[in-house]
Chains A and B, each alone.
Chain A
Amino acid sequence: MARTKPWLEPHPHGLYVRPADLWIDPARPVERAAVTHGHADHARSGHHAVFATPETLAIMALRYGVDAAAGHNQAVAYGDGFERGGVRFSFHPAGHVLGSAQIAMEYRGERIVVTGDYKRRPDPTCAPFEIVPCDIFITEATFGLPVFRHPPTRDEIAKLLAAVRAEPDRCVLVGAYALGKAQRVIAELRAAGWQAPIYIHGALERMCALYADHGVDLGELRLVGESDKAEMAGQIVLAPPSALNDRWSRRLPDPVTAMASGWMRVRQRARQRMVELPLVISDHADWDELTATIVEVDPQESWITHGSEEGLLRWCEMTQRRARALHLVGRDLEEEA
């Protein structure tokens, strides 16, 4: 890093764009924040002005009561942008969850792209990742170790459906993060032909409704709290991971505990969570996606953050690519991966 005066400064609690006096995904309240997506480790409450996609603003409004339409917030659609302090900002799909964006910035002929969280696999609930050529590529690395290779999603969905059909007296309880993963699992189930009502934990209700409002068809959803134990036999139930082994689950008919997460690739992780049916379904890029994306973007330099920085850093070193690890704080990614 021989740059004398970087215009984008990595700080432990976020990335600061000095000429624009604006933070990207700051971990504490600031005057002006550009937010890549609605997950809590990226979108915090309490900022004065937020720049984000309309979907992300809607998600933040739902979670924090932020007024999406307030004058100091600014909705930026994919492909659109704004200029501030000589920096040209534009938002591009990241393929992670509804509304998730990469943020590209151009200043004095240099372009930096912040991916936020991303994935390359198709997802029926959000726009696919776009390659944005740049000089500095700031990439996530949640699954930045070569042991993480997510299998095809349809195989995992097939596993889930086989488990439901194998034991018609029981239900399958799928732990899925409330924003993104839950809706994706539902949409993938619909795409695989599962037409029965899907039962959800109350904590998923409003986010599912938000997705439906944005045109993502999730089919018929029923609240577990308003359903009979008996009617849920042979059915699929979704709940946030924290509810899996909680008292709440006693109202279900002898549930088979499943969990949809990239961490399920590792048996020990799945067993620690008392999971009987691990489903390797992730909203984050796996090792192959991470490395292939760096190859495709082919930046001058990669900055690595958010996960197993060392693994991806080592790969960059092995393939003679300039890279450095950023150590940002407050990135709690266990649940949403």
Chain B
Amino acid sequence: MKRFAALIDRLVYTRSRNSKLALIVDYLKHTPDPDRGWALAALTDALDFPAVKAGTVRALLGARVDEELFRLSRHFVGDTAETAALLWPEKPLPFREGVGVGHVDGAQLQQAPPRPSPEGEGGLSISQAVDALSTATRSDAPAILASLLDRLDADGRYALLKLALGGMRVGVSARLAKQAFAQAFAVPVDDVEELWHAIPPPYAPLFAWGEGRAPCPDLADVAFFRPFMLAHPLEGESLDLSDFAAEWKWDGIRVQLVHGGGETRLYSRGGEEIGGAFPELLAAFDQDAVIDGELLVRGEAQGGAAGGAASFNALQQRLGRKTVTKRMLADYPAFVRVYDLLAVDGNDLRGLSWIERRRQLEAFVPRLAASHFDLSPVIEAAHFDELAELRAGARDAAIEGMMLKRRDAPYVAGRRAGFWYKWKRDPLVADCVMLYAQRGNGRRASFYSDYTFGCWTDAGELLPVGKAYSGFTDEELKWLDKFVRDHTIDRFGPVREVEKTLVLEVAFDSIHASKRHKSGLAMRFPRISRIRCDKPAEEADRIATLRAMVT
């Protein structure tokens, strides 16, 4: 637990992705099974101990620490797990370091156990902790958790509580964890991606394979995630349509539905399971198959009244939820627009060409309920210029653009040159005025690199419409940073308010109605496309102009 606690601690404070990666690689290489597997699962929030909840921890503290002191401490620290880790009673250190001091007769310390030995472990490993927690029942969970906490120091307690309660929040995505694994054992990240979801923690067969001690695990009969095939942006070149097929690029989220081994799973882009938020899709997908498609909500913004889809904004109402109400299901009915078939009836189709997979897909889709699944159509065009015209004339602003897929290409994980292209519609742009700036993270910590910008109301007031922290070059960043420092008119904590004189051209993919901002608007993927020193602030765009672009 000590090594894991140290890892958590380093990850909490490390901002750069590469440094986080290096820390995890080092940990995986130098920690035995099954501890490292449990650690990996904890980092990616893949553990769940139903008997241990935040309430369990609060109750334990209530029995050991004065309620008022706990309340004051919790208020100051802001996080229950961390407050509990710091407050857990232990004998005070002799603060004169070696001289020793009389005991503290605080009532809250009466039950203090002996301080853990300098090794700090009391021999407690992560796997022992996981074993104890996973066998815990509602009734004995408090006693079990307490005995574990007694064996740890403050950092160890923090790690244990985060492991037990989830919500690690150390900035480690599943993707980063897989990359760390691949790097630690010099195996292809694509293979790790594929195996990851098929093997439960603590991933012993995965490590055995990584270290060359065992062959690749067999994945028959498991509803595992297949890493997505991704597209490169199409930049200016034109393609021969005898080689490439075109489809609309729908503005939803990319998903994979897998049915196998008696289970159905819905995965999002990174391989995260999101089925809990879409029970109707899990129920409706009853065929032994793996499909790749776009998750959408019924509506008219994309594709018109006939079988169309609502804007991304509508889909957002359904995302990120653990459970859904009947009301949600009725108001935002979800469906999948299917564009690829990766496996069917026990056969892996990924090695086949797109043409062959498409043929099988068209035959397969009628086996699914039309209420929840439809086929993404192929766009008919004789040549590339015709396609370009179709794209430019697309009525529905909500559609993101087109996808171009090489007809003879197999389905391969990741972004492979020459196979798939995304051909986005030209971004929307607006001229906005910089309002506030904030410092960035990591390498940019000394630069004001996050900007809030606004547009004019009809009453001549500037209201914020978005925030961007990308799109500029390093040179432009230096210039912007200097502008902020030289034109600050007020400060609120880390935020600087600037003179309303600088016009920024902001590019964005789409814009939606939002209650979160006073302007009632929210941009999707805003970035600074140009610094418009030439333009006076009065000539920046009006909110009304942006509202007309809403989808």
Q: Which of B15, B83, B439 contacts A276 (CB 8 A)?
A: B15
B439–A245 contact, CB under 8 A?
Answer: yes
A295 touches B104 (CB 8 A): yes
Query: A41 at interface (Cβ–Cβ under 8 A)?
Result: no
- Complex CA gap A44/B104 in Å reads 35
Nearest chain-B residue to A315 (Cβ)? Answer: B106
Q: Does A145 contact B (CB under 8 A)?
A: yes
Other-chain contact of A275, B13, B72, B154, B158 (Cβ < 8 Å): B13
Residues in chain A near residue B158, CB distance under 8 A:
267
Distance (whole angstroms) from the CB of A80 to the closest CB of chain B: 25
In the complex, which residues of chain A have a beta carbon less than 8 angstroms from the beta carbon of B83?
A: 147
* A278–B106 CA distance with the chains assembled, in angstroms: 28
Set of chain B residues within 8 Å of A154, measured between Cβ atoms: 97
Return the CB mask of A266-297 against B: 1 if under 8 Å, else 0. 11101100111110000000101101100110
A146 to B96, CA, bound (A): 18
* Min CB–CB distance B118 → chain A (angstroms): 10
Query: Which of B63-71, B354-362, B402-410 has 4 or more CB atoms under 8 Å from chain A?
Result: B63-71
Is the beta-carbon distance between B106 and A267 smaller than 8 angstroms?
A: no
Question: Within the assembled complex, what's the spacing in Å between the Cα atoms of A308 and B73?
Answer: 10
A245/B72 in contact, CB under 8 A:
no
Residues of chain B within 8 A (CB-CB) of A324 are none
Cross-chain contact A268 with B78 (CB below 8 angstroms): yes
Contacting pair A120 B77 (CB below 8 A): no
Give the segment of B87-95, B180-188, B335-343 that binds chain A. B87-95
Cβ-based interface call for B533 (8 A): no
Given contacts A149-B93, A268-B78, contact A318 B107 (CB under 8 A): yes
Are A145 and B72 neighbours in the complex by a CB distance under 8 Å? yes
Cβ-neighbour of B69 out of A270, A295, A311 (below 8 A): A311
A250 interface hit (Cβ, 8 Å): yes
| A45 at the binding interface (Cβ < 8 Å) | no
* Interface members, chain B 71-87 (any A CB < 8 Å): 72-73, 76-79, 82-83, 86-87
Contact, CB under 8 Å: B92 / A288:
yes
Q: For A277, what are the chain B residues with a Cβ–Cβ distance below 8 Å?
A: 13
Please encode chain B, from 432 to 446, with 1 for each CB lying within 8 Å of some chain A CB and 0 for all others. 000000010100011
Kindly state whether residue A246 has any CB partner on chain B within 8 Å: yes
**A153 touches B (CB below 8 Å):** yes
CB contacts (< 8 Å) of B76 on chain A: these are 145, 147, 266, 308
A37 to B101, CA, bound (A): 26
Contact residue among B66, B95, B445, B485 (Cβ-Cβ distance under 8 Å from A292): B95
Q: Are B96 and A295 in contact (CB under 8 A)?
A: no
The verdict on A268 contacting B106 (CB below 8 Å), with A146-B87, A152-B97 known, is no
**CB contact between B445 and one of A245, A268, A288 (< 8 Å): that residue:** A245
Interface centre among A121, A122, A153, A292 (most CB of B within 10 A): A292
List the A residue with the shortest CB-CB distance to B439: A245
Cβ of A319 under 8 Å from chain B: yes
Closest Cβ of chain A to B1, distance in Å, is 17
When distances are taken between beta carbons in the complex, the residues of chain B under 8 Å from A121 are 95-97
Chain B residues in 8 Å Cβ range of A147: 73, 76-77, 83, 86-87
Whether A74 is near chain B, meaning CB under 8 Å from some CB there, is no
A246-B446, A278-B13 given as contacts; is B77 within 8 A of A266 (CB)?
yes
| Alpha-carbon separation in the docked complex, A145 to B70 (Å) | 9
**Of the candidates A149, A274, A275, A318, which one forms a contact with B106 in the assembled complex, judged by CB atoms under 8 Å apart?**
A318
Residues of A within 8 A of B87 (CB): 146-147
Q: Are B108 and A146 in contact (CB under 8 A)?
A: yes
Cα A29 to Cα B154 in complex, Å, equals: 44
What 0/1 readout, one digit per residue, does chain A (242-269) give for beta carbons within 8 Å of chain B? Answer: 0001110110000001000000011110
User: Are B446 and A245 in touch, CB under 8 angstroms?
Assistant: yes
Complex CA gap A278/B107 in Å reads: 31
Contacts of B106 in A (CB 8 A): 146, 291, 315, 318-319
Q: Which residues of B contact A310 (CB under 8 A)?
A: 72
Question: Does A314 lie at the interface of the complex (its beta carbon under 8 Å from any beta carbon of B)?
Answer: yes
Asked if B218 CB lies within 8 Å of chain A CBs, one says no
Q: Are B77 and A270 in contact (CB under 8 A)?
A: no
What are the 4 closest A-B residue pairs judged by CB atoms, nearest first? Answer: A288-B92, A147-B86, A147-B73, A276-B13
Known pairs A145-B69, A268-B77, A268-B79. 13 more at Cβ < 8 A? A121-B95, A121-B96, A146-B73, A146-B108, A147-B83, A245-B446, A268-B82, A277-B13, A278-B13, A288-B104, A289-B95, A314-B66, A319-B105
Q: Which residues of A contact B (CB under 8 A)?
A: 120-122, 145-154, 245-247, 249-250, 257, 265-268, 270-271, 274-278, 286, 288-289, 291-292, 295-296, 308, 310-311, 314-315, 318-319
Q: List 9 A-B contacts (CB under 8 A).
A: A120-B96, A146-B86, A147-B73, A247-B485, A267-B13, A276-B13, A286-B95, A291-B104, A318-B107
